[in-house]
Amino acid sequence: MAGSIKIKTRLSRDVAEVKSLIIHPMETGARKDPDTGELVPRHHITQLVFANNGKAVMVANFSTAVSRNPYINFRFRGAKAGDTLRVSWVDNLGGSDELETVLS
Amino acid sequence: MQAGRRLLLKAGAALALLAALPKALLAAVWPQKAFLSTEGREALSALLGTDQTTPSDQITLKLPEIAENGAFVPVTIGTTLENVKSISIVVEKNPRPLVASFEMMPGVFPNISSRIKMAETSEVMAVVKTDTGIYSTSKSVRVTLGGCA
């Protein structure tokens, strides 16, 4: 699932604004494949973690009811230019991805 | 032969533990029971240890009054409450009401935006846990096209 994470950050003084978008189907397990009529198995991100310089800032726990290609926007204090923000996720089928970005 | 099997079992258990380690280091455990619960109150109990919340006008829950597409309902939750530990979203009428829970470390502004799915017209509850208690506010959203949550 490499390349699934898109992130934009903006630093003003010590506050970092984080806008993140994860490309993920977020299948509920209740949807039928229109071609085969078979149920598409439940497939969703369970945890999305934001860590700044190795320290977790926010942990988002998801059910299947977060929309396809989830986006999360938030801000946190205590950031500075040069900090490394790491975004990582895992899903219920063992999939995962991560991305690091340097705050500036 | 019996002893050999024991040893193998032990080795297997040790391996499984090792395999589980990186995930344990990554973050807290995904609260499975809360997320698989089919009832809102039950989900809250499993997540926060209680289904009792104090209504608060210090929480703002921004949602459309009418959602044309239940698959993408924009939501913003903010609060002026202090020392927020987590913010959770519960959609009462969804098959599995607990939608998401955001655990925040000190320094995170208690204000987040995302998009959620709604199966049908329902009350949506924002639950904020602080170091002093559990607070909530609710809003009703009319869904014209269900989003198979």
B7 confidence band (pLDDT: 50, 70, 90): low
pLDDT per position as a tens digit, B16-74: 544 444 444 444 789 999 999 999 999 999 999 999 999 999 999 999 999 999 999 99
Q: How far apart are CA B130 and CA B128, in angstroms?
A: 6
Is the pTM higher than 0.90? The answer reads: no
Local structure of residue A90 (DSSP, 8 states): E
Res B23: pLDDT: 42
- Domain positions in chain B are 28-143
Tell how strand B98-104 and strand B66-67 pair up. Answer: unpaired
- Reduced to 3 states, what is the DSSP secondary structure of residue B59? strand
Res B146: pLDDT: 75
The phi-psi region of residue A53 (left if phi > 0; otherwise alpha if psi is between -120 and 50; otherwise beta) is left
Residue A59 is part of which domain span?
A: 5-102
Q: How far apart are CA B147 and CA B149, in angstroms?
A: 6
- In tens digits, chain A (104 residues) has pLDDT values of 789 999 999 999 999 999 999 999 999 998 888 999 999 999 999 999 999 999 999 999 999 999 999 999 999 999 999 999 999 999 999 999 999 999 99
| Whether A70 and B30 lie within 8 Å, measured CB to CB | no
Amino acid at B67: A
DSSP-based helix, strand, coil % in chain A, nearest 5 = 0, 55, 45
* Domain count within chain A: 1
Closest chain A residue to the Cα of B36, Cα to Cα: A63
CA distance A51 to chain B (A): 10
Quick check: A98 and A54 in contact, CB under 8 A? no
Sign of CA dihedral B85, B91, B94, B97: positive
Q: How far apart are CA B33 and CA B103, in angstroms?
A: 17
Greater pLDDT, A26 or B6 = A26
Local structure of residue B93 (DSSP, 8 states): T
Quick check: B119 and B98 in contact, CB under 8 A? no
ipTM value of the model? 0.94
Q: Give CA separation, A38 vs A64, A81, B71, B85, in Å.
A: 18, 50, 20, 41
Domain at B28-143: CATH architecture: Sandwich (2.60)
Q: How far apart are CA A60 and CA A46, in angstroms?
A: 8
Quick check: B118 and B42 in contact, CB under 8 A? no
With 0-12 / 13-18 / 19 or more C-beta atoms within 10 angstroms meaning exposed / middle / buried, residue A76 is buried
Measured between CB atoms, which of B73, B102, B118 is closest to A58?
B102
Strand partners, A86: A51, A100
| Whether A63 and B103 lie within 8 Å, measured CB to CB | no
Res B4: pLDDT: 58
Strand partners, B15: none
* Average pLDDT taken over every residue of chain B: 87
pLDDT per position as a tens digit, B73-119: 999 999 999 999 999 999 999 999 999 999 999 999 999 999 999 99
Supply the CATH number for residue A84's domain. 2.60.40.10
Q: Which of A103, A96, A84, A102 is nearest to A3 (CA)?
A: A96
Measured between CB atoms, which of A60, A63, A71 is closest to B98?
A63
Res A51: pLDDT: 97
Query: Chain A: which residues have CB within 8 Å of chain B?
Result: 15, 28, 30-31, 46-47, 49, 55-68, 70-78, 88, 90
